Structure 1
Amino acid sequence: MIRWACILALFAAPVAAQDIWVLGEVHDNPAHHAVQASRVAEIAPKALIFEMLTPQDAAKVTPDLRDDADALAAALNWEGNGWPSFSQYFPIIAAAPEAVIFGAGVPREMARKVGQVGLAAAFGENAVAFGLTSPLPSEQQRARAQLQADAHCGALPPVMLPLMVDIQRFRDASLARAALAALAQTGGPVAVITGNGHARTDWGMPALIAQAGPAAKIYTVGQGEDGIAPDGTFDEVVYAPAPKRDDPCEVFR
């Protein structure tokens, strides 16, 4: 099944050069990570950005560790960090052995700061460029709040939903900022590994890149499951079977 997904992605891959490739995923789908590794091998990016790594984590990806999955996982303290097994992500790193690794993950303490001082103040410099000083259009705000409610199985108090939307905007902007910084530093191409929700072109990090760095050429890939497309818009959508999962809402009961 994973092989089928990779083959589909290979045939779907565009040939036009891009500055920034945004490769979405459903985090716990191994087939999606296999597609990302295949695409990264084709793109041969000069920079790889991971939502799963903070900037501090990325600095730990040293040349002496890049060929050793176990040692790198230990250096990153990966086990227990909430992300799927490092064995799913290591092939992506291995597919671009010369790429500079960037982290765009948002630590918990920074996410808490959004609630303490507000979205723009927590983000700091360039908040205006990434649209963080302006409220979202009301329809988008409602849609994003509903997505947060659904993602948390209706367990969040409604008063918490605006903050969750702000944190998601903060994550989008952090990814966009990292992508533009990586492009400026390396000249590109840049490949971004992130969830489908951040990869969508209508309101995710590609929309913020288009706002803050409109000269950058962006191509986004969303990954669906069992023929069902992910929410949002993408330049391309590829599909793979969904893995067997426990009920994600069980933890909220």
Structure 2
Amino acid sequence: MDNVINQRVIGLLSVLLVIFLVTPAMASDGRIRETSSGEAISEARFMARLEKADVVILGELHDDPACHSIQADIIRNLISAGQVPALYFEMLTDQEEIAHEDFLRTWADSTNDSLAFKDAARKGVLAWERRGWPIWDAYAPIFRLADQNGLPVRHADPSPELMHNIRRFGLLAIPKQLRIRLFENLKDDELGKLSNRLTQSITDAHGLESTPSGRVGLIQAQMTRDAYMALRLSQAERPAVLIAGIEHARKDHGVPFHLGQRAPHLNIVAIALCGVLPPVQESTPPTLLPFDFYWLVDSGE
């Protein structure tokens, strides 16, 4: 009898060992890096951190399909863990959010149409290409996930008219009450420091317009967009996921910075998708590390 039990135990251990060796999530393949430790970590450890977050910020390269595929996988995994995250999109203003809700109400009576037809109709309703956003087909699966799982779809971007006016006239173009709400949590000297960090980051990433007025307008518009997204997320259903450009996901001056000032009790995780892992100086304080995680991807995969 003991021999039979021992054989069964050995067999069970062998099966568990095989599962451990062949399950991708159990061992790191070097794609996911934890910035604070500099370590490559497993997808399972990564997702365990995200499942505890109040807000997950997915910083993307807008024109890279690999980024959007990873975003869909992350959201799918959160759903599998029992979450119903609200999805906030940089690509949507309040007008598109309203149009999308109307679209979903109308579509509820069109159950016989194909998913492809629905995707094409939604693309038109959101005026995706007309407003300058790329590769709709890469974003469509994320909207499908929202449909299938009852995930709220919310806007995160200010109106284009406001952004245009800020680039021309600066922060005074923002209506007073909104301006107070956006920046009320910053200390008196923090706005200048924030502007300097943002200027350096955008210069490194994109370069700047040649004229001083063009530079100031661009910086102030970016600062306003980050503060607005943070305001939206501070009011969000929990948990929330923000899909936005990689510069907006930065902890040192982007949305996580503003959200941390506004709602320091929130557990915020900022991720750079498809980014380049920079060297981290030992002297860099944790609060100024640009992201919590990097997911490194070959765009051609």
Please give the TM-score of this superposition, normalised by the length of structure 2: 0.67
Q: Does 1:96 align with 2:130?
A: no
**Which of 222, 225, 231 is 2:272 aligned to?**
222
Query: What CA RMSD, in Å, does the superposition of the two structures yield over aligned residues?
Result: 3.3
The CA deviation at 1:179 is 1.0
Equivalenced residues, count: 237
Structure 2 vs 1, CA of residues 106 and 137 (structure 1 numbering), >3 Å: closer, same or farther?
A: closer
- What's the CA shift string for 1:6-56, capped at 9, x where partnerless? x95644323441111111101111100111111111223331100001111
Bigger shift: 145-154 or 98-107?
A: 145-154
Structure 2 vs 1, CA of residues 168 and 154 (structure 1 numbering), >3 Å: closer, same or farther?
A: closer
Bigger shift: 55-64 or 209-218?
A: 55-64
**Which of 54, 58, 71 is 2:97 aligned to?**
58
Amino acid of the structure 1 residue aligned with 2:210? L
Task: Decide whether the 8 Å contact of 1:226 with 1:240 is kept in 2.
Answer: no
Task: Decide whether the 8 Å contact of 1:40 with 1:96 is kept in 2.
Answer: no
Distance 2:144 2:240 in 1: 15
Distance 1:198 1:223 in 2: 12
Distance 1:114 1:221 in 2: 28
**Which of 224, 248, 252 is 1:170 aligned to?**
224
Amino acid of the structure 2 residue aligned with 1:239? L
Q: Does 1:35 align with 2:85?
A: no
The structure that is helix-richer by fraction is: 2
Structure 2 vs 1, CA of residues 90 and 158 (structure 1 numbering), >3 Å: closer, same or farther?
A: same
The CA deviation at 1:166 is 0.5
**Which of 45, 49, 57 is 2:88 aligned to?**
49
Bigger shift: 219-228 or 79-88?
A: 219-228
Larger radius of gyration: 2
The CA deviation at 1:225 is 4.0
For structure 2, the 5+ residue unaligned runs are: 1-29, 33-42, 109-114, 280-287
Q: Does 1:234 align with 2:291?
A: yes
Please give the TM-score of this superposition, normalised by the length of structure 1: 0.79
Partner of 2:48, secondary structure, is coil
Task: Decide whether the 8 Å contact of 2:60 with 2:67 is kept in 1.
Answer: yes
State, as a whole percentage, how many aligned pairs show the same letter: 26
Partner of 1:18, secondary structure, is coil
